[in-house]
C-alpha cells in the first residue's frame, strides 16, 4: 500500500488487531503512538503494526535514516530529548512579547549564528501556525500550547517508530515494551488528557510541515470520537 493510499485510508476506519491485541495499561502506552499509527493505517492495539514490511522498511530507512540497531536507538532517544530543549521556551517567550522578540532571542539563545537562525525560523513558523490553529478551533489561545508543547508529536512518532524498529529486528519486544512505558510516563509531564495529546501532535505536525492540517484534525477527531477507537472512552492519559 502506497503512502498516499495509507494516508487516505486512515480516514476510513480504525484498524484493530483481533488476534494479538494488548490491553490495560500496556494499551495506554501503545496509544501514545495512535496519531502516527492512524497516518500509516496501522493497528492501534497491538505491537504488530499490520503494515506491509516493505512499507515499514521504506518508512524507517528512507524517512528516518535508520538501517541498523545503533541508528534506531539513537533516533528513538533523540525523540525524547527534544522535549527537554529549554531554548524552545525562549522562542515561546519571544512569541508572547513580539515587539521585543529580537532582544529576547539574542539575549537568551546560544551565540552561534546557525543556532540562532534555527530558533529564529521556529519563531517565524510559530507566528504563522498559532493563528491558523486558532482559526481551525484546535486551540483558543497560545497559552494552551505552552505546557503541552509539541510533546505529542515527538512521543507519538517515537512510539510508532519503535514498533516499526521492533518489526525490523532492531529492538527486542522487551525493549519495545520498556520504551513505550517510558514514552507514556514522559508524555504525562506535558499532556494530561488524550485531547491535549492530539492537540500537541497537530501543533508539532504544523510546526514541521506548515499549514494544511485538515488531515491531522480529521485523524484526531476519529481517534477521540469513533465508537471503535480505543481512545473513545478515555479522557486522561
For residue range 59-113, list pLDDT tens digits in order.
999 999 999 999 999 999 999 999 889 999 999 999 999 899 999 999 999 989 9
48 Cβ neighbours under 8 A, 6+ residues apart:
17, 20, 163, 167
pLDDT exceeds 50 at position 212: yes
Domain layout of the chain by residue ranges: 1-237
pTM, full prediction: 0.92
In 3D space, the residue among 132, 154, 140, 94 whose CA is nearest the CA of residue 212 turns out to be 132
pLDDT of residue 7 exceeding 60, the answer is no
Q: What is the pLDDT of residue 10?
A: 45
DSSP state of 124: H
| The three cell numbers locating residue 201 | 501532535
SS3 call for 147: helix
8-state DSSP, 236:
B
**Contacts of residue 28, Cβ cutoff 8 Å, sequence gap at least 6:** 184, 234, 237
Amino acid at each position: 500500500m502506497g503512502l498516499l493510499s495509507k494516508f487516505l485510508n486512515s480516514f476510513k476506519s480504525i484498524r484493530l488487531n483481533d488476534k494479538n491485541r494488548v490491553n490495560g495499561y500496556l494499551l495506554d502506552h501503545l496509544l501514545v503512538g495512535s496519531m502516527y499509527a492512524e497516518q500509516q493505517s496501522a493497528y492501534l492495539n497491538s505491537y504488530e503494526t499490520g503494515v506491509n514490511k516493505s512499507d515499514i522498511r521504506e518508512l524507517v530507512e528512507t524517512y528516518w535514516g535508520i538501517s541498523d540497531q545503533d541508528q534506531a536507538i539513537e533516533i528513538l532517544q533523540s525523540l525524547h530529548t527534544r522535549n527537554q530543549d529549554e531554548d524552545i521556551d525562549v522562542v515561546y517567550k519571544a512569541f508572547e512579547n513580539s515587539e521585543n522578540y529580537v532582544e529576547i532571542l539574542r539575549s537568551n539563545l546560544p551565540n552561534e549564528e546557525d543556532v540562532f537562525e534555527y530558533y529564529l525560523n521556529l519563531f517565524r513558523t510559530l507566528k504563522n501556525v498559532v493563528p491558523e490553529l486558532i482559526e481551525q478551533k484546535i486551540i483558543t489561545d497560545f497559552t494552551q500550547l505552552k505546557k503541552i508543547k509539541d510533546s505529542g508529536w515527538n512521543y507519538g512518532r517515537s512510539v510508532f517508530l519503535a514498533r516499526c524498529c521492533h518489526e525490523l529486528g532492531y529492538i527486542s519486544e522487551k525493549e519495545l515494551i520498556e520504551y513505550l512505558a517510558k514514552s507514556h510516563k514522559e508524555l504525562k509531564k506535558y499532556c494530561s488528557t488524550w485531547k491535549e495529546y492530539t492537540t500537541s501532535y497537530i501543533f508539532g505536525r504544523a510546526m514541521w510541515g506548515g499549514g494544511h492540517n485538515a488531515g491531522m484534525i480529521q485523524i484526531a477527531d476519529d481517534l477521540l470520537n469513533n465508537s471503535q477507537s480505543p481512545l473513545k472512552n478515555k479522557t486522561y492519559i
